[in-house]
Amino acid sequence: MQTNPYVPIPVEVAKIITEVTTKDIKTFRFAFLNKEDEENFNYLPGQFAELSIFGKGESPIGIASSPTQKGYLEFTVQRAGVVTSELHSMEEGTRMGVRGPLGNTWPIEYLKGKNIVVVGGGFAFTTLRSLINYMIHDDNRSQFGNITVVYGAREPGLLIYKDEIALWEKRTDLALNVTVDKGDADWKGREGFVPAVCKDVAPSSENAVAVICGPPIMIRFTLPVFFDLGFSKENIYTSLEMRMKCGIGKCGRCNVGHKYVCKDGPVFSLAELDKLTKEY
Ligand SMILES: Cc1cc2nc3c(=O)[nH]c(=O)nc-3n(C[C@H](O)[C@H](O)[C@H](O)COP(=O)(O)OP(=O)(O)OC[C@H]3O[C@@H](n4cnc5c(N)ncnc54)[C@H](O)[C@@H]3O)c2cc1C
Ligand code: FES
């Protein structure tokens, strides 16, 4: 992390990918302007950064690239309000700031040696994509057991990372299950809600950890499936999205009980969340 955590690191928009047919979700690839900043930006999957646009403000966004992808950072951003709309209007070559990496990570060390079930819904798949790319990288794949992925979107046009998913589908060391609530004429894949597909795929809870991220309604119906499969609350992890300001545990904007989501999270196990108040 940079010496002064309030000072954004200068970056340039190197590539913009429009992810969905509605055009309101784009992936931004940033290149660091200074080599030293790039070398010092050490992160792991699950962390986020504040995207900083001068005169507009900052937005906390999960890091969608994996640290195994060198030379750039990627963020997948839905247009929501002031900062994200400004970001969406940018062109390649625009300069702005990134403040981070911030927050904790998916529990990488704990995941090692275990079978991993990754469940994602909608565009909350971003830091899960980072985790998957991290685990399947040649340097890391042998450290993890079976990897099962269930990823769903409302309709085919809302699936993100389509090119990458096509590559993952060809792998034999990753059990990928992509589903849409409702297909269209061209859709040849699965149809069905994420919880139903999880039930159908029925990953074993033996030596396994589930990492789940998505809209609250998806999480609400997915958790009982995993409890039925025998997953304990200690072995189910999720990531919280709260309103944030400083991102470094100073302003008190994001606390849940005695924890700061920006610093102690955003990743928590269900067992940890159970100990907090029910504010999240
Ligand atoms: C740890 C973390 C990771 C996130 N990762 C991503 C990501 O990968 N991609 C992505 O698109 N978004 C992500 N978000 C949400 C993102 O931070 C907000 O959508 C963004 O800050 C909105 O900023 P804005 O200036 O464009 O909108 P504003 O003008 O501030 O607000 C526009 C609308 O968005 C709502 N809003 C603002 N902030 C949040 C928030 N934190 N959560 C929910 N609603 C909010 C406001 O109530 C308002 O209705 C993440 C949030 C957190 C805390
Ligand atoms: S955002 Fe300031 S304490 Fe978490």
Cα–ligand 1 centroid distance for 262 (angstroms) = 13
Q: Which of 188, 265, 220 is nearest to 119 (CA)?
A: 220
10 Å CB burial of residue 119 (0-12, 13-18, 19+) is buried
Helix (H, G, I), strand (E, B), or coil: what is residue 63?
Answer: coil
Q: Which of 84, 129, 240 to mutate to test the pocket of ligand 1 (most atoms within 8 A of CB)?
A: 84
- Name the average pLDDT for the chain: 95
- What's the CA-to-centroid distance between 79 and ligand 1, angstroms? 9
Task: Tell whether the model's pLDDT for residue 2 goes beyond 60.
Answer: no
pLDDT over 80 at 3, yes or no:
no
Assign 5 a pLDDT band (cuts: 50, 70, 90). Answer: confident
**CB of 244 sitting under 6 A from ligand 2:** yes
Binned at pLDDT 50, 70 and 90, residue 277 comes out as low
Among 1-15, 77-91, 147-161, 252-266, name the one with the lowest average pLDDT: 1-15
Residue 233 has pLDDT above 90, yes or no: yes
> Measuring from each residue's beta carbon to the nearest atom of ligand 1, which residues come in under 6 Å?
48, 57, 59-62, 76-78, 80-85, 126, 241-244, 266
Ligand 1 centroid to residue 201 C-alpha, Å:
32
pLDDT score at 242: 86
Distance 113 CA to ligand 1 centre (A): 34
pLDDT at 13 over 90: yes
Residue 112, ligand 2, Cβ within 6 A = no
State pLDDT tens for residues 213-231: 999 999 999 999 999 999 9
pLDDT digits (tens, 9 = 90+) for 130-150: 999 999 999 999 999 999 999
* Portion of the chain with pLDDT greater than 90, in percent: 90
Strands (E), 63-160: 73-78, 95-102, 115-121, 147-153
Matching residue, tokens 């080599």? 35
Query: 280 pLDDT exceeds 70?
Result: no
Q: Given the CA of residue 254, which atom of ligand 2 is nearest to it?
A: 4
User: What's residue 119's pLDDT?
Assistant: 98
Between CA 41 and CA 43 the distance in angstroms is: 6
**What global pTM score does this model have?**
0.95
Between the CA of residue 130 and those of 3, 55, 118, what are the distances in Å? Answer: 25, 30, 11
Nearest CA to ligand 1 atom 9: 77
Would you place residue 276 in the very low, low, confident or very high pLDDT band (cuts 50, 70, 90)?
confident
Measured over the CA atoms of residue 20, residue 26, residue 31 and residue 32, the dihedral's sign is negative
Mutate to test the pocket of ligand 1, among 25, 48, 241 (most ligand atoms within 8 A of CB): 241
Give residue 4's pLDDT: 86
Using 50, 70 and 90 to split pLDDT, how confident is the model at 175?
Answer: very high
